[in-house]
Every structure is written in C-alpha cells, then in structure tokens.
Amino acid sequence: MDSTEIKNTDTTAGITPMPRIGDKAPEFKAVTTQGDINFPSDYKGKWVILFSHPADFTPVCTSEFMTFAKREPEFNALNCQLVGLSIDGLYSHIAWLRIIKEKIEFKGMKNIDVTFPLIEDITMEVAKKYGMIQPGESSTKAVRAVFFIDPKGVIRAIIYYPLSMGRNFDELKRALIAMQTADTFNIATPADWQPGDDVIVPTAGSCGVAKDRMEAKEEGVTCHDWFFCTKKLSLEEVKHQKK
C-alpha cells in the first residue's frame, strides 16, 4: 500500500485526515441557507473561503458571522465567495440568522443580513472530509477552520483557530490579496506585507542573474543579497489586478 492509499484510508476514530495545501478541494453536495450547492464546482472561476464554526447560537460565532456578513462586499469585490458550515441543522441555521438580523447589535453592527450560504452538516460528512472535527478540541463541534480555495478548485491556504478565539478578518482579507497578487505578478510577499508594500522577486536561478542583480543591472530591483531581492508594486497595481 503506497502513501496515497494510506492517507485515503486512515480513518482513525472515524476522522478522515484533512486535505493539504495543493490538494483539490474535496467535493460534496449540501443543503444550505441559500439552497443546494455542489462544491466546489458551483464556484468555478471564483476564489472561495470555506469556513467552519462550532455551533449556532454561540457568542463568538455570532460576532464572526456579523463581521463576515458586513464585510462580504469586500470579499465579493475580490472575486471571492464566502461559504460557512457548522454541524447544526438547516432550521437551526435559519432561526439563528433571523435572531442576528432582528435582535443582535455588536460593535456598531445591527440589522445584519447573512446572505452567503451556511451549510447544514448534521452528519458531519463535510466537516470530516475537511478535518474540521478535531477530537482533542471537541468531538461534537467543528473547530474554526478556514480553507482558501482558488478558481481552479485547489486549496491554497488553511488556517485553524481554537473554539475560544474569534478570527481576524483583516488577516483573512490580506491573505487572499497576497495569494492573488503572487499569482498575478509571479512574486512572493514578505512578513507583514500589505498591499502597496515592496514584494519579493523570485530568487536568481543562475550565477549570471545573481551577479546582475548585485551590480544593480536589473532595473527596479533592490537586492539585500543575491537571494533576497525586492521591487516596488504599487497599491494601484494590486487593486486593479485580475482576480
């Protein structure tokens, strides 16, 4: 049995190993608060942030859903669809989202209408496919997982949070923009990068290129050493890239 077979059949304690960066996003069909979906095929050509939360009618999750809903237009403008999931049922989802809209006010947010899909996953089928159930944290609730899936249906980044900690939405947006920018301009982004900051150019692949860079012969490139070179990439260029 090869390593791939081991990975696909390892279901210790009924838990399927989570997919990895670079894997195709596992496919599934689901009922959501916005109708049935086929994932990820329904979102081909879009980025998707698929995220899980522990349970409906819980305070941290309520604060997160209000924030996601308020900031949904920012993600939509980046060609990104939000898709939520918990192991609660559809009617629980609907009741919770109605209460959020009608009763909850938090940090100046009120009358918040959650319009992105929220998946019903009572059987935990989807949560198990994506490794969202982690018994060391909880065997009955999904942790706060975030999967960034690109327009080709490939997982590009994964972030996990414990049940007790709400997510940082500025970081989720920054990560999305950084990945899109890396794809568009064939660059990498340094620590704490923000749109408009200098970016990292690919490491020199030959002695000749390394020499030219160190002698400042490559226009627009600043080298701190032969393997670490940066260049300007304006905020306007980042804003107007094809998503």
- Angstrom CA distances, 32 to 29, 35, 41, 48, 219, stand at 10, 5, 15, 15, 52
71 carries a ligand binding annotation: no
DSSP 104-123: --BTTB-S----S-EEE-TT
- Angstrom CA distances, 64 to 76, 161, 230, stand at 17, 12, 36
Q: Is 103:14 a contact under the CB 8 Å cutoff? A: no
Dist CA 113 CA 110 (whole Å): 9
Gap between the terminal Cα atoms of the chain: 41
β 28-32/35-39 pair status: antiparallel
61 is catalytic: yes
Helices (H) and strands (E) in the chain, counts: 7, 10
Q: Where are the beta strands (DSSP E) in 65-153?
A: 80-86, 118-120, 144-149
Which among 61, 80, 223, 229 is annotated as catalytic? 61
Q: Which residues are catalytic?
A: 61
Question: What residue numbers does the annotated binding site cover?
Answer: 144
Question: What residue numbers does the annotated binding site for substrate cover?
Answer: 144
